Chain A
Amino acid sequence: MLGLIIWALTTIFTNTIHNLEERGIQTGFSFLDNVAPFGIGFSPIIEFKLGTSTYWDVFFIGIQNTILVSVFGVVAATFLGFVIGIMRLSPNWLLSRFALTYIEVFRNIPVLLQIMFWNFAIFLPLLPSPRQSLSFADSLFLNGRGLYMPKPIFDSGVGIWIYAIIATVTVIGLFMMGRWAKKRQDESGERFPARLIGAGILLAVLLIGYFVSGSPISLELPTLARFNLTGGLEIPLPLFVLWFSLTTYTASFIAENVRGGIQSVAKGQTEAACAVGLQRTQMLRLVIIPQAMRVIVPPTISQFLNLTKNSSLAVAIAYEEVVNIWAGTALNQTGQALIIIAMTVAVYECLSLLTSFALNVYNKRIQLVER
């Protein structure tokens, strides 16, 4: 058995060496320092300069864009998933059927088909040209090229530091207030509405501090120039479409997890919570949701990983993430199939290991302590 595996591996190895020689490809990592001969349109954090940026930059920009769309997707999908999952359990028949239809439609159609559908059949043909952008309050614009939002501009002066210090001190103070309130409730049973008061204080301090420190943050609004919108924060359409489709697709799976989790809480728990006189919101917050989370979180974390892996389908709509610009464009340019594919796989393996690590930590933490 072992001999067979070793034989197979050596055959593959010698064949590969032979084939690479035949094609005149020098395998090695040296090409990574070469200047990349193509441009990248969207790179919000790492700057890409045509003519000086190397293949390393391309690789890291790819990873950055993958993580970007995944993080936004995960946040939105979790929110939407919880809303739909709770709707599914609503006593209102119409609402629960509505959620059921959503779940069954979205999770039974391939996500690639959904991405292409939204991109090629809905958004591209239906969104207007930049001149006729759909606008919301003259600050949000949506058109065939992307979504344009106001962009916060931070002053370089001393004001921004004062503001940051005020905000930090307030947050630390509120945190301590929360601990004090909990301690008091544990000791005396008296409740103190720490969250409500804390939110009020935070809002007030942030508002007053903003003017005291001399308005250190301003918003740059996108404005309509001759052919296009300039200024503001631009989210290219492929990113928007990818985010939208991954969110709606993944939400249908998360919704099922949420429904299953809440239904898994034994009925006796609800009855017991009623019996000790908890209000409905207290019952949900203190009894049902903590127990449901045990069931909801593990499969939901694997959905997060699935969403990240599915973001590789951006190839179909030209969003510049790692599979598209690295395993696609860079591979075609250099022909370094072995190394490029290996690096791409390594990125996903790391993300996957990270996910299972997070899962294990969570599972350890929530394990039932049995006496």
Chain B
Amino acid sequence: MADKVMTFEKLPDRPPPMSQVGIVGWVRENLFGSKTNTILTLVSLYVLYILVVPLVDWAVINANWVGEDKSVCDANKAGACWVFIAARFNQIMFGLYYGANPDQIWRPTLAFALLIVLAIPLFIESFKYKLQLGAFILFGYPFVIFALIHGAWLGLPVAGTSEWGGFMLTFVLASVGIVGALPIGILLALGRRSELPVIRTFSIAFIEFWRGTPLITILFMASVMLPLFFPSEVDFDKVLRAMIGITMFQSAYTAEAIRGGLQAIPKGQFEAAEALGHNYWKMMAFIVLPQALRISIPGIVNTFIALFKDTSLVSIIGLLDLLNMALITSRSLEWKGFDLEGFTFAAFIFWICCYAMSRYSRAIEDKIDKATKY
């Protein structure tokens, strides 16, 4: 009948219209998808315009970048005076002693550089000795940094704790807080889950006491009450008092973060450890804590971020941390009236540190999530 075989041939897909793909498509879908969307986009654009344009003008375009002293900034009031930050950079970062002795600045710089070099392998996937390195950073490195910035142990010119300041002091306080709080926090977390009522009650009371009180009250407490608790021969300097207060405060928060980790360990792990004949401490040290601590790392990092921000409170009891240093340098005779620049710079430093740490904690969290989901 028909020698002509009908064949259906599929034509190649036509490309989607220009308005659906590429930048145009993306803009249409995400910014102008509907009437409300369009209005929202326009309003956002307007708000951005009134916020960002003056900010960029002030901070970048009209800013005073080069110069020697205040006169440059007084001549041009429309922009930020970064000359001030450049002139007082050493003080804001390293405190009064190192600000006055620029030839000694290599000491804190070396200490920070060492930390960065030591921390790099922690981010390398294939590096095998992460645990040992982490332990060294937590418990060995503090002695190195103390030796370097204090100086007495190495026979360098001594910079006493009362002369520490700036970002360096902020960093030292936060680090002492986390390093001191970790062992206490582990003990408290174990205590809170202990079966002995005395220890459990004590741990709960201790944790809730420090968690319920604002840090500033604790710092007041440390600065007015600590001297009362010890024989009058024992002399505490201000920085040490703040360190003790911060460590106590932080240990309660660390304990709660670790408790979260402990709760996530399945019961079978405890039972298996007991079946193997481990006693309590062996079970905790070799079976439970290694798993619990790994899960609680993001939580601990988050409490550390909070602590890092909270160290700024020591400026209220008169320590010259990053915030207070920015404040007093912008009120010194030479640079009076540059509060805005001082605060902005301090905020910028805090922001970079905290943001980086929060990204890190998020990344670990994702990694743990992936590892525990089947």
Contact = CB atoms under 8 A, between A and B. Distances in A.
Given A12-B229, A95-B44, A345-B221, A313 B343 contact: no
Contact of B228 (A95, A312, A337): A337
B217 A104 contact: no
Nearest to A344: B217
Contacts of A310: 214
A109 B209 CA distance: 26
Contact of A2 (B31, B198, B230): B198
Given A92-B30, A349-B212, A316 B316 contact: yes
B323 interface: yes
Contact of A348 (B31, B33, B214, B358): B214
B312 A315 contact: no
Interface string A328-371: 10010000011001001100110111000000000000000000
A1 B323 CA distance: 41
Contact of B208 (A5, A327, A344, A352): A352
A60 B354 CA distance: 37
A112 B346 CA distance: 12
Contact of A92 (B41, B199, B217, B309): B41
Interface string A127-158: 00000000000000000000000000000000
A121 B212 contact: no
Contacts, number: 144
B224 to A, nearest CB: 4
A328 B220 CA distance: 9
A323 B216 contact: yes
Contacts of B355: 104, 108
A34 interface: no
Interface in B213-252: 213-217, 220-221, 224-225, 227-232
A113 B213 contact: no
A302 to B, nearest CB: 10
Contacts of B163: none
A16 B229 contact: yes
A248 B265 CA distance: 37
A207 interface: no
B33 A91 contact: yes
A331 B224 CA distance: 10
Nearest to A122: B340
Contacts of B202: 5
Interface string B327-361: 10000000000011001101100110011001000
A323 B44 contact: no
B228 A309 contact: no
Contacts of B316: 112, 313, 315-316
Interface in A71-105: 90-95, 98, 104-105
B198 A98 contact: no
A110 interface: yes
Interface in A42-67: none
A175 interface: no
Contacts of B41: 92, 94-95
A20 B323 contact: no
B313 interface: yes
B83 to A, nearest CB: 17
B350 A108 contact: yes
B235 to A, nearest CB: 13
B214 A112 contact: no
B interface residue count range (under 10 / 10 to 19 / 20 to 34 / 35 or more): 35 or more
A105 B51 CA distance: 14
Contacts of B221: 341, 345
Contacts of A94: 30-31, 40-41, 44-45, 48
B217 A19 contact: no
B34 to A, nearest CB: 9
A313 B212 contact: no
A31 B30 CA distance: 66
B346 A113 contact: yes
A93 B198 CA distance: 55
B310 interface: yes
A341 B220 contact: yes
B291 interface: no
Given A117-B343, A352-B212, A19 B227 contact: yes
Contact of B231 (A15, A120, A352): A15
- Count chain A CB atoms within 10 A of each CB in B214, B215, B344, B350 and give the residue with the most: B214
B217 A327 contact: yes
A275 B4 CA distance: 50
A340 to B, nearest CB: 9
Nearest to A328: B220
A323 B214 contact: yes
A244 to B, nearest CB: 15
A331 B217 CA distance: 12
Contacts of A117: 343-344, 347
Contacts of A186: none
Nearest to B305: A108
A15 B40 contact: no
Nearest to B44: A94
A95 B40 contact: yes
Contacts of A109: 309, 347, 350-351, 354
A338 B228 CA distance: 9
B310 A110 contact: yes
Contacts of B231: 15, 18
B176 to A, nearest CB: 18
A348 B213 contact: yes
Contacts of A353: 212
A65 B234 CA distance: 38
A236 to B, nearest CB: 20
A112 B48 CA distance: 26
Contacts of B230: 12, 15
10 contacts: A91-B37, A93-B31, A94-B31, A95-B41, A309-B214, A337-B228, A341-B217, A341-B220, A341-B225, A348-B214
Nearest 4 A-B pairs (CB), nearest first? A352-B212, A108-B354, A93-B30, A110-B309
Interface of B: 30-31, 33, 37, 40-41, 44-45, 47-48, 198-199, 202, 208-209, 211-217, 220-221, 224-225, 227-232, 305, 309-310, 312-313, 315-316, 323, 327, 339-340, 343-344, 346-347, 350-351, 354-355, 358
Given A113-B343, A117-B343, 8 more contacts: A93-B30, A93-B31, A105-B351, A108-B351, A112-B323, A338-B228, A341-B217, A341-B224
